[in-house]
Structure 1
Amino acid sequence: MPVKIRLQRHGKKGKPFYWIVAADARSKRDGKYLEKLGTYNPNINPAEINLDVDGAVKWLQNGAQPTDTARAILSYRGVMMKNHLAGGVRKGALTEEQAEEKFNAWMEDKSKAVDGKKTKLADAKDKAKADAIAAEKATNEARIAANAPVVEETPEATENVDATEEVEATEKVELKDAPAAEAEATKEEE
């Protein structure tokens, strides 16, 4: 029976979530499986991968063939490296301690790279948020400036306003008196 290590899709439409399983190659994609090895969630950045490393190594040593995507995931989590080191131990090229030491060193380097990516993504998210807030403040200030024209009141300006009000008041009085004066002038002429 040919065994494949592959992804089994779960989740809803547009939000996939995968189980990493060891299954018979002839079974359906989401059908019966032999063993569930872990999960893979590509919806977050970086993708979340939970994997039973020793179980996956055991299946690889028993002849299971991973699919291309499963191979990439197994390689990312160190399963392929551990399988390679286990092959070296079987052949006598390495001792068990040396293999474990190399694997732990590789895992530390990998975890540092992942942590670096997470901090870089968090910094980029914070910077984008700060830029959005600054742009919003600038937009609000521009909107306020456009809607509320500012008039500066100086003592000279208020004196000019008072003087114009007095002139307008005298013009109104003169205009009211003008028809009466015209009527008197016409009576005298007669």
Structure 2
Amino acid sequence: MPVKIRLQRHGKKGKPFYWIVAADSRAKRDGKFLEKLGTYNPNTNPATIDLNVDGAVQWLHNGAQPTDTARAILSYKGALLKHHLDGGVRKGALTQEQADAKFAAWLDAKEGKVDAKKDGLAKAKEDAKAKALKAEKEVNEKRLAAKEEVVVEEEVAEAPEAAEVSAEAATEEAPANEEENKETEA
């Protein structure tokens, strides 16, 4: 029975979520499988991969062939490296302790890279948020400045009208006062 390590699609439309399974190559994509080895969620950044490395290595020892995407995931998580190191142990090129030490060193280096990427993404997100806040503050300040200019222009426009009205009132009152003065003199 030819066994494949492949992805089995789950999740809803537009939001895929995959199980990493060992299945008979003749079985349907989302059908019967022999063993669930882990999960893969491409919706997060970086993608979330939960993999039973020892189980995957055991299936690789038994002759299971990974699909292209599954091979990339197994390589990313170190299952292919562990399979390769186990081959060296079987041939006598390495001891089990040396193979375990190499695998642990590789895992530490890989974890450091993933953490650096997560930190970089978080920093970029914070920078984008700060930039957006700064731009929003500038827009609000411009809006307030424009509103204050409109209010000042209205006050300036009202002030000459008030001065004209008071000047007209003064000219109207002045003749009336002159007439009253003439009447009182007569």
TM-score normalised by length of structure 2: 0.85
* Cα distance in structure 2, aligned partners of 1:177 and 1:113: 94
The CA RMSD measured in Å over matched residues stands at 2.5
Superposition pairs for residues 14-25 of structure 1, below 5 Å?
14-25=14-25
Q: 2:157: which partner in 1?
A: none
* Cα distance in structure 2, aligned partners of 1:66 and 1:171: 101
Q: 2:49: which partner in 1?
A: 49
**Counterpart amino acid of residue 142 in structure 1:** K
* Cα distance in structure 2, aligned partners of 1:62 and 1:68: 18
* Cα distance in structure 1, aligned partners of 2:76 and 2:176: 96
* Cα distance in structure 2, aligned partners of 1:109 and 1:163: 81
**Counterpart amino acid of residue 113 in structure 1:** K
Q: 1:108: which partner in 2?
A: 108
Q: 1:63: which partner in 2?
A: 63
Q: 2:132: which partner in 1?
A: 132
Identity among equivalent pairs (%): 66
Alpha-carbon deviation of 1:174? 4.3
Q: 2:4: which partner in 1?
A: 4
Alpha-carbon deviation of 1:169? 3.1
Which consecutive residues of structure 2, in runs of 5 or more, have no partner in the other structure?
Answer: 153-159, 180-186
- 3-state DSSP of counterpart to 1:7: strand
- 3-state DSSP of counterpart to 2:23: strand
**Counterpart amino acid of residue 84 in structure 1:** H
* Cα distance in structure 1, aligned partners of 2:168 and 2:87: 105
TM-score normalised by length of structure 1: 0.84
Alpha-carbon deviation of 1:148? 2.0
**Counterpart amino acid of residue 34 in structure 1:** L
**Counterpart amino acid of residue 29 in structure 2:** R
* Cα distance in structure 1, aligned partners of 2:146 and 2:172: 36
- 3-state DSSP of counterpart to 1:20: strand
Residues 9-68 of structure 1, C-alpha deviation per residue, up to 9 Å, x if partnerless?
Answer: 000000000000000000000000000000000000000000000000000000000000
Q: 2:148: which partner in 1?
A: 148
Larger radius of gyration: 1
* Cα distance in structure 1, aligned partners of 2:163 and 2:123: 62
**Counterpart amino acid of residue 61 in structure 1:** H
* Cα distance in structure 2, aligned partners of 1:38 and 1:99: 23
* Cα distance in structure 2, aligned partners of 1:113 and 1:70: 21
* Cα distance in structure 1, aligned partners of 2:55 and 2:167: 99
For residues 162 and 146 of structure 1, do their structure 2 counterparts lie closer, same or farther at Cα, with a shift above 3 Å needed? closer
- 3-state DSSP of counterpart to 1:148: helix
Q: 2:172: which partner in 1?
A: 172
